[in-house]
Amino acid sequence: MEVKEIESIVEGLLFAAGDPLSLDRISEILEIDKKAVKIILNNMIISYQNSKRGIMMRELNGKYQFCTRFEHNEYIKKLFEPRHKQGLSTAAFETLSIVAYNQPITRAKVEQIRGVNSDSAISKLIDRNLIKEAGRLDAPGRPVLYETTEEFLRSFGFRSLTDLPRLEMDEIQEIDEPEK
């Protein structure tokens, strides 16, 4: 198969799937070596970035998906205005950042770091699909663990958690050591 034909098939797969597709799944469907598919996918990402199209191809945690361009956000929002959502509160942003940097994490640990009850913020983040349950801690009471979702990565423009801004050492100590 020629590269252009493979690219055409990949476009069709990503469009039809809607949700992100893994490299493994794409390779399996194409019946082509993963290394070769990865090279083609990376070239497609660059090609879409350099084009004047309204869509782009993104990698999210080793999965691939079509998305609209960030710079068209104000227009895309108008399409969905009737479903207008209220922004996140400061408490929700604090909770989300704690989960993002410490995942998987229990509600109790989030509350220990924040110093306040976080039930409402956690519920809002789950409703917005920014965090999800990630199993249970093997400890008394088996508390629920939380982690971020692919929607979190998509919403904040990250390819993976490694794209999160790095914390400075004094910021990390502030998180680890509650104020006295």
Reported as a single tens digit per residue, the pLDDT across 122-137 is: 999 999 999 999 999 9
Residue 157: CA count within 13 A, CB half-sphere? 6
Residue holding tokens 């080793």? 62
Beta strands in the chain (DSSP E): 21-22, 55-60, 63-68, 105-106, 131-136, 144-148
Q: Report if pTM > 0.95.
A: no
Domains of the chain: 3-73 (1.10.10.10), 85-176 (1.10.10.10)
pLDDT, tens digit, 9 for 90 and up, residues 84-135: 456 888 999 999 999 999 999 999 999 999 999 999 999 999 999 999 999 9
Q: What is the rounded distance in angstroms from the CA atom of residue 41 to the CA atom of residue 52? A: 18
**CA–CA separation, 83 and 120 (whole Å):** 21
Model confidence over 46-93: pLDDT tens digits? 999 998 889 999 998 889 999 988 888 888 887 766 544 568 889 999
